[in-house]
Amino acid sequence: MAHIKALKIYFLDSMNIGALFEDGSFRKYDLKRLIPEIPVFERLKDRAFFMAARLSPGGYGIIWDDELDIDVSEIYYNGTEWPDAPLKDISPAMIIRQFRQIRMAAGKSQQELAEATGLKQANIARLENGGCVPRLDTLMQLGKALGYTLRWEKE
């Protein structure tokens, strides 16, 4: 299992917590399920304490205090999809990260993608490093070279 990073956490109803992950996905998780095996999670029934959580500096854990924390990979791998998540929190940087992951999964180098699109390799590198926000037509061109299209879908 790969270790994944959370970018933001959300306090939902009861003992449910949500998270936005670096791959752009939103997941939610009911912390009550941990109480039988880890009784210290009972403390989260106190709403004020529950909402005092913070994301660890690296984004790999959620911390309440010295005795209570959870690895975000538990939420990612064992939580559920969160279809009504606050999509406004997705940033251009997340879209660029997803593009880079798609490029790498396709086994394409920046140079190969540059040759396939007519763009300069340096421009692709700058895009992936956050040095610029790509235009829509550039994203469409890059996606097409990787076998992807951008489209609107009705929810």
**What's the CATH number where 54 sits?**
3.30.2020.10
pLDDT over threshold 70, residue 154: no
pTM equals 0.66
Whether residue 65 sits in one domain with residue 14: yes
| pLDDT value of residue 56 | 93
In a domain, 154, yes or no: no
Phi, psi for residue 136 in degrees, rounded to 5:
-60, -45
Do 11 and 50 contact (CB within 8 A), yes or no? Answer: yes
Domain endpoint, select from 88, 106, 136: 88
| pLDDT value of residue 89 | 78
- Confidence class of residue 153 from pLDDT cuts 50, 70 and 90? low
List, in order, residues 6 or more apart from 105 with CB less than 8 Å away.
Answer: none
Whether residue 16 sits in one domain with residue 38: yes
Provide the number of structural domains found in the chain: 2
**What mean pLDDT do residues 90-115 have?**
86
Q: Which residues pair with 30 in a beta bridge?
A: 16
pLDDT over threshold 80, residue 78: yes
Q: Sort 134 into a burial class: Cβ within 10 Å, 0-12 / 13-18 / 19+.
A: buried
The secondary structure of the chain as a DSSP string is: -----EEEEEE-STTEEEEEETTS-EEEEEGGGGTTT-GGGGGGGSHHHHTT-EE-TTSSEEEEETTEEEEHHHHHHHSEE-TT--GGG--HHHHHHHHHHHHHHTT--HHHHHHHHT--HHHHHHHHTTS-PPPHHHHHHHHHHTT--------
Domain with 126, as residue range(s), is 91-145
Domain endpoint, select from 71, 88, 105: 88
Do 120 and 131 contact (CB within 8 A), yes or no? Answer: no
